[in-house]
A and B are shown apart, each in its own frame.
Chain A
Amino acid sequence: MNYKLILDIAIHLLRARLKQTIVAAVGVTFSIAMFISLVSFMSGLNGLLDGLMLNRTPHIRMFNEVKPSDNQPLSLSKDYKGNTVFIHSIKPKDRGKSIYNSMSIISALKQDKRIIDVAPKVTASVLYNSGTIEISGMVNGIDVLAENTLFKISDYIKEGKLSDLFQNNSIIIGKGLSDKMLLSVGDIIKVSTSNGTLSSLKIVGISETGIADIDNMASYTSLATAQKIVGQPKNYITDIQVNLYKKENAVAIAHEFHTVYDVDTIDYLAANVQFETGSSVRSIISYAVGIVLLIVAGFGIYNILNMMIYEKMDSIAILKATGFSGSDVKWIFISLSIIIGVTGGVFGLIFGFIFSSIIDVIPFSSPSVPSVTTYPIDYNGSYYVIGLVFALFTTLISGFFPAMKASRVDPVEIIRGK
C-alpha cells in the first residue's frame, strides 16, 4: 500500500472541509486540555493533602495501647492446657502509657540505617486553667530538634520561636487556646493533670495549624517539662515517632518493630485510611470527566467523517473505479481521523499545559500548609502520555466505523445513480 498517496488524498479531502475539520479537532483539543488541567490540578491537590497528612503523621508511631493482656494467668496453668477456657469480665490492666525500656529502644532506632530520625514524645491530657475557666486539652512534650526535622513544626509557629522551648517551664499554645483564654506571649498559663499536679508555664509562642481541633487543644513543651507536669521520671516516653527514607516500607517495618521491641506500632497508612479514599475518589472524578469529554469529541469526529463520506461519495466511487481498493479507501478515512486526533490532541496537550500553568499562579493560601502560596499543580509527564493515547484511541474508534462504511461504498451504485 502506498501510504504517502493515501495520506495525500486524506489531506486533500480535509482541506476541502477545513472548517468542519477544525471544529472536530478543537473538540479533541478542548477535551484533552480539560483532562490534562483537571488531572494535574486534582493530583496536585492530592499531593498537597497527602503532604498535609504526612506533615503530621510519622511513618511509624510506637506506643502502648491500653488493652487486656493476651496471656491470662489461666493459660499458664498446665492443667488446662489444650482445653477451651472461657473467662468473663476481663479488664485491661493499666501498665501506664509509658513505653517500657524506651531509652534503649530509641538508641537502637537511632542506629537503624533505614530511619531518618527518631522523635520521642510525651503526651498528657490536661486542663488549662486561666482565671475561672478550665479547658481540657493535650500537652505534647517534644524533642524540639527531632520533632522539627520530622514535621517542620516551626512552620506553624505564628508568634515566638520554637527554640524558646529550650527554656525551663516554657510552652507554646495553640491559636484557639490563646484566643479563648485571652492569653498572649509572655503570659503565664496554669496546667493541671488528672493526678492533681498543677504547674505554671510561661507562654513563649503561639502555633496555628489551621486545624481547629488541634489549635483549640494542643500545646507544645519540651520533653523534660512535660515529664515534670505529669510527675514522671526522665525515661517516661509515651510515643516514639519514626520517619523512614522509604515510606513505602512503613507497613513491613512497623510490623518488625512490633515484634522486636514488643510495643504497639501503627504505620501512617493505617492511621490515615480516609486520605487514601479521598485521593482515589478525586482521581476517578478527573479521569471520568476527561473520558466523558473525549467521548463527546469522538461523536464530533464521527459526525464530520460521516458527513464527509456522504459528500464525497462521487470521489470515493471514482477512486474505486480507477483502482483504489476498499482497504485503500478505508485507510484514507482512518488517516483523516488520525490527523484530526493527533493535531487536536497535540494542541490539547499544549493548552492543557497552559491552563495548568495559569492555575499554578492563582494565589491560594491555607494556614495548614504555610509553604503553599498558589494552587497546586502536578506536572506529571504520564498525564500527557495518557491524554494523547486517549485522544488517539477515541479518534480511531470514531473514525473506524465511517471508514468501514466508506470502504464498502459500491461505485456502480454511485455511478449509475446519477
Chain B
Amino acid sequence: MKQALGAVRRKFQPWNDPASRPFIEFRNVSKQFGSFTAVDHQTLTVFEREFHALLGPSGCGKTTLLRMLAGFEEPSEGEIWLDGKNLAGVPPHRRPVNMMFQSYALFPHMSVEKNIAFGLKQDGMPRGEIAARVDEMLKLVKLEPFAKRRPDKLSGGQRQRVALARALAKRPKVLLLDEPLGALDKKLREATQFELVGLQESLGLTFLIVTHDQEEAMTVADRISVMKEGKIAQIATPAEIYEAPSSRYVADFIGSVNVFEGTVESSSPGRLQLETDQGFTVRTATAPVLGAGTKAWFAVRPEKMRIDHDRPEGDGVNMVSGEVWDIGYLGDVTVYNVRLDSGKLVRASVMNAQRAVARPISWEERVWLSWSDDAGVILLD
C-alpha cells in the first residue's frame, strides 16, 4: 500500500510549482504567552491535499501553531489565511477546520455515534443525512459494532478512531492532528500511520499533523516542518530533510548523524575540501561555494560509512581510522561505535545482508572508516 501511494505521491509537489495556490498560510505569525515567545515570527505555507507534519521536541510551539489555526489562540502578531480568507477574529466554531485532540477529548456522556454526530448536529444537518454520515464514518474507522458504546468502554485504539471519525465527519477543509497516535503502542501506531495516509489520500483532504516522533513524520508526511524553540528550522520533504538537512540541529533531530567541525580549505562549484579538527580531510561534491578558512561542519549518516580492516585505496581523503569501541547487533543492521584517536566516537552501521561474514569485525580492532564524495553534507549552522 505504501508503495502504491508513494508512486502517486511522487508527482504531488505543488511547493515546486510557482503557479500553485497556497491553502494554509501562516504569515509572519508570533504568539506570546506573557513574556514567553512560543512562536516567533514564522511563515509557513501548506498546499491543498498536502499531508504536512510539524515536527520538533516537546515545548517547541507545535501545538500552539495548530491551536492558532483552529482558533483557540489568536496570534500576537501576523496573519493566518485559509483558502484565500484571513482567519483573524473568526471564532473556532466558524472555522472550516477540525481537530483531533491529543487527549481525544471525546464527550464522556455520549455514545460513539453521538460523538461522531455532534459536529453534524451543530450545522443543522437533517437527521437522515446525519445517520447516513455517521454510518459511513463508523465503517471508515471500522467501529460499527461499537456505535452504542460510551467512550470509557473502549480501548485506547478504538477511542483514537472515534476521535478521528468525529473530526472527519464534517469533511473539514483541513484536519488538524495533535500527536494523534501518542497514546498507542508501537505496533498499533505503525499500522495506524499507514491508515492515516490512506484516509488522507482517499478523502483528498489537507492534513496538518503535530508529532515529536521523527519516524512518524517521515512515514506520513509529504513535507515536514522541523521546529526548534518557536522557529521553523527547515521545511522540506522527508527525503530532503534526511539527505540534505539545513543545519546540525535538523540533521541531529532526524535519525542519527556524525558531525565533524572543520575549516574550508578550498571550494569551487561541485567540489569542496574541508580540514576537520580530527586531522582528516573531507571532500564533498554537493556543497555551496565558500571562502577558504570559513568555519563549517561535515555531517554524514552512519549508513553512508564503510567500515574495513584495511586502509581503503585512494588519495587519503574521506577516510579515518579508529578502534572499535562498541558493537550493537540490531538484527537487520549492526551498529559500530568507532573511537578516533582524539577520543571522539563515530557511528557506522552496516546492513546484515549475509548470515555469516568471513572476517567479522570485533571489539578493540583497528578499523578504517571511509565514505564517498556525495555521502555527507556541509553545514554552516
Q: Do A and B come from one complex?
A: no
